[in-house]
Amino acid sequence: MSALVESSTDDTSIAGVERAIELLDGRVSVFLTGAGVSTDSGIPDYRGEGAPKRTPMNVGQFLLDEAFRRRYWAGSHRGWRRFASVTPNDGHRAIARLEAADLSVGVVTQNVDGLHVRAGSRRVVDLHGSMEQVRCLTCGQMFSRESIAERMVEQNPGFDLAEDEELGPDGDAIVSGIDSFDIPACTVCGGILKPDIVFFGEFIPRDKFEEATQLVSSADVLVIAGSSLVVNSGIRLLEQARRARKPVVIVNRGVTKGDSRATVRIDAGASETLSAIADGLLS
């Protein structure tokens, strides 16, 4: 299968959308989305063009060092209010529209923002978990993120919830002056609390990845949007589709690790491109 790689100019982006619509017409798709799908909702991308250089906390730091946990929870506390207030954009809604019309089996997302669900998507596999839940690493008790936020307000009454910090894709913010910040603990057993997301250095739970592979298997076409495919899970799903001889459409600003394997490659923003594709298929 030859690759039709589209450049970033307006004319060829339009041509790429037309080719994607032609490819998707009469077929059922599955979507794989990354941070680039949520940038138009105000959530930044770690790796996209123009993204600031950041080194996210890894799971070893979080688990082994209370100072790292304090920095994480202080930053997450400041970032959560803004993170939780963002709304789905046209790209999220386009994916949900296609599922509602039975033209898509659902979406596998690398994002932890919950925006696909808020947009109306019914079948969502959160590969990296969701920021809306917090888990005790000792007893397994689950808490809502909102309840943890309320507890941190009570525990840290003098902590400024300023809104001008640099926000990260996981709802974290860059903070300082946190030596006295009181981090939350499990109210059941006193254990360490961790957002129910996959940190850098962690493996995706096996059952979650199997759910994603089943979703890809049930579709005719894989559409990858807003992901540079640096994370191994995305490449594995792309390879699954390629081995099954399923067409692959990639929509992303800038290069991705899967470009040479794409049937159609569109170098453009996810929101406008997915909206145009949905409009074309539903018209």
Whole-angstrom distance, CA of residue 53 vs CA of residue 161? 24
Is 160 annotated to bind a ligand? Reply is: no
Is 189 annotated to bind a ligand? Reply is: yes
Whole-angstrom distance, CA of residue 156 vs CA of residue 237? 43
How many Cβ atoms sit within 10 Å of the Cβ of residue 99?
A: 24
Residue 116's identity, in one-letter code, is H
3 state DSSP class of 3: coil
Is 262 annotated to bind a ligand? Reply is: no
Active-site residue list: 128
| Tokens, residue 30 | 């599955």
- Phi, then psi, of 114 in degrees rounded to 5: 75, 10
Is 228 annotated to bind a ligand? Reply is: no
Whole-angstrom distance, CA of residue 280 vs CA of residue 269? 17
Residues, the chain: 283
Tokens 């970033």, residue located: 8
Q: At what angle do helices 232-243 and 206-217 cross, to 10 degrees?
A: 30
Pairing of strands 142-144, 129-136: antiparallel
Q: Which residue ranges make up the annotated binding site for Zn(2+)?
A: 136, 139, 186, 189
